[in-house]
Structure 1
Amino acid sequence: MQFCDECGSMMVSVDGEMVCQNDDCGATSEQEEGLAEQFTSTEAQSDDDVIETEEGANFEGKPTATDVVCEECGHGEAWYTIKQTGSADEPPTRFFKCKECGRRWRGYS
Structure 2
Amino acid sequence: MEFCDECGSMMKTEGDEWVCGNEECGFSKPRDAQSEQAMVTTQGQEESEVVDVSDAENKGLPTTESHCPKCDNDEAYWYMQQIRSADESETRFFICTECEHKWREDDH
* TM-score normalised by L of structure 1: 0.50
Q: CA deviation at 1:3?
A: 2.3
Could you say if the C-alpha distance between residues 8 and 62 of structure 1 is closer, same or farther in structure 2, counting changes exceeding 3 Å?
Answer: same
Asked if 1:26 corresponds to 2:4, the answer is no
Residue 26 of structure 1: SS of its match in structure 2? strand
1:84 is aligned, of 49, 60, 82, to 82
CA RMSD of aligned residues (A): 3.8
Q: d(CA) in 1 for partners of 2:55 and 2:90?
A: 18
Q: 1:69 aligns with which of 67, 70, 90?
A: 67
User: Are 2:41 and 1:60 aligned?
Assistant: no
Q: Which whole-Å deviations, capped at 9, do the CAs of 1:22-64 have from their partners, x for residues lacking one?
A: xxx336456xxxxxxxxxxxxxxxxxxxxxxxxx697712011
- CA shift at 1:79, angstroms? 0.4
Instruction: From the superposition, tell whether residues 85 and 57 of structure 1 become closer, same or farther in structure 2 (CA, over 3 Å).
Output: farther
2:93 counterpart SS class: strand
- Structure 1 regions of 5+ residues with no counterpart? 10-19, 31-55
- TM-superposed deviation, 1:94: 1.1
Rg larger in 1 or in 2? Answer: 2
Q: Aligned partners of 1:8, 1:57: CA distance in 2, in Å?
A: 43
Percent identity at matched positions? Answer: 35
Gaps of 5+ in 2: 19-30, 33-53
Match of 1:8 in 2: 9
CA distance in 1 between counterparts of 2:75 and 2:2 reads 48
CA distance in 1, matches of 2:2, 2:84: 30
